[in-house]
Structure formats: structure tokens, C-alpha cells
Copies of this chain bind each other. A is one copy, B any other.
Amino acid sequence: MVSERAAPAHVTLEVVARYAGVSPATASRVLNGTTRVRDELRERVLAAADLLGYIPNAHAQALASASSQVVGVICHDVSDPYFAAIASGVMRAASERGLLMMLASTFRDPSREIAYVSTLRAQQARAILLISSGFQDRAWERAMSAELDPYLRGGGRVAVVSRHRTLRVDTVLPENRAGGAALARALLDLGHRDFAVLTGPRALTTVSDRLGGFRDALARAGVDLAPDQIVEGAFTRDGGYDACSGLLQRGLRATCVFAITDVMAIGALAALRDHGLRVPEDVSLAGFDDIPIVRDLSPPLTTVALPLAEMGEAVMALALREPPHRRSRVARFGGEVVLRASTAPP
């Protein structure tokens, strides 16, 4: 009767230890397996912990041992399939290692990226991973370094997806430039000479690298890209739709449209269709990323494949590798052109 309504209080290590008739030190040792403990005591502690439903307080553990099981992940936009796929790879890598993942989404605002680094520092994250699209801006870079440097000096680990100009950290680098170039060559091989491009914000290295690679490869083939056939839009499905609509309104002179990301390509496909154009009969369309859904579009989308989940696993591996930061390392991924039915000879 009484025992049944006994307040469970807070079952702390102290309670377990008392119950087992040992000191908290011994109980801690048993529970963590740090040191041999006489079998009899071991059993008593284990039994007590189990019986009382003991759950250690991770804050106390972290504070006392100055270490944590948590990695922080800052993601450009979790609701975008590209970033979600990478985050999913990070998630998998984390659970393999028994780590917990604190996930923050900046919803496309680079300044929040910096704020979150600070927050994750406060949380004593063992590593901070940035899943971004790169951002080139002096003030931003300075502020980010000001957050990252003390963290690194304090033993924190940092790794980043996508190219950043001045951040001295481990990097997972999608082959944006080479991929853009390879795509251009593939499209040239199909016979296209007139291109239009739907880009995202130029301040993102992801955008400028892809566009740069694409344009260079065209130039090398003696084909140039009319400035009025390059339209900038938001980095989203609707951004792609709007950019493509704008292009169509102004008069599309291209036989092939390159959307700088698959997500934008999805919007572009809708815009083309709404405008009565058939893909690829009237115009070819290509994207970049190979997010899972694009093979199920009709027509399936030609794109540049990136192993997104693998990149997520790699960014974790890079951050956690020993010894830390011999010198910031770069791991390159992807860049293979996947030709599908959305492109055809003009």
C-alpha cells in the first residue's frame, strides 16, 4: 500500500547507490564500466538501477566529464529535399555512432546560421556540421569565423557541406563546377546551342560554381550564353516556376533550359507545361542534384547526380576523424551526368 504510492522522487545515482549499499562512485563505475568492480557489488548496482528505473542525467554527465554525445547540425532548409537528403545521411551516421543530433534549420537566412553556431556552442555540441549552400560575403565570413575559431580552439569539431571561401574547416564539396561543365558538354553533345539558365542567388557558391562551370564549358565550345537568358529566382520550387515563367514571358530563345537545382527544375517543368510547351519535344530541361523524386517525374529529369546521403555521412566522418584538423580537408563527391528523357536533341 504505502510502497505503492511512495513518491518515485528523482532516481539519481545517489539513490541507486544507497539502495545497493555502495557509494555513488562505485555505482558510477559499474554503470559506465570504467573499472572492474567486485561481481557481487556489480550485480547489486545493476539490479537496483533496473528496479528503480534509473536514467542518468545527461547534463550532469556532460558537465562532470566535459564531453557530450550531441552533434549540432545546421541546415539551410529542412523542408527542401536536397538538404533533407543530406541531413538524413548525417542522421544515419549519428545513430551508427550512438550520437544524438540537434538539428536547426535557418530557413534560408544566413545570419541565423551564425546565431545557431553560437547556440550549439552553448549546448557543448561535440561537433557542428553546416549543411549549407555556401555564402560569399565578407561580413558574414568574418562573423562566422569569429564563432567558429574559438570553438575549434576549444576542441570543437566543425565540418561543412559546400564551398566557403575563407572558412578553414573540413569540407564536403559537391563537384558543382565540374558537374556544371559536364552537363554543358552532355547537352552540347545532344546538339543544343541555345541555352537558358534558371539560377538562384549568386552569393551562394553552389550557384556560382554550377553556373561558372556550365558557362565555361559552353565558352570553350564557342557557345555563349545571352545574359537575358539567365534568370535569377529563389532557390525553391516556386522560385523555379517564377523564373521560368518570366523567361517565357520575355520570350524563350533557347532549346534547352538548365535549372541550377532539381527543385527549381520541378517548378520550371510546371511552368513550361502551363505555358503549353512539351518537354523534351519543344524544349529540353535539365537540373542538378538528382534528388530522389526526379526520376519519377514525367519526363524523368536529366540532372547531375550527387550522392546526397553519402555526403551527409561524410560530413560527420570528416568532423569526427582523428586527429582533428591536421589541415582542413576536402572530400569531393558526385558530378556524374544522368541523361534522362527530359532532354533530347533540339
Contact = CB atoms under 8 A, between A and B. Distances in A.
Interface of A: 8, 10, 53, 55-60, 62-63, 68, 70, 78-79, 81, 84-85, 87-88, 91-92, 95, 100-105, 107, 118-119, 121-124, 150, 153-154, 237, 266-267, 269-270, 273, 292-293, 296-298, 309
B92 A107 contact: yes
Contacts of A101: 102-104
Contacts of A57: 63, 122, 124
Contacts of A267: 296
Given A10-B154, A55-B118, A237-B292, A85 B79 contact: yes
A81 B81 contact: yes
A101 to B, nearest CB: 6
Contacts of A87: 78
A104 B98 CA distance: 11
Interface centre among A70, A103, A118 (most CB of B within 10 A): A103
B270 A58 contact: no
Nearest to A153: B8
A59 to B, nearest CB: 4
Residue from A58, A119, A122 with most neighbouring chain B CB atoms (10 Å): A58
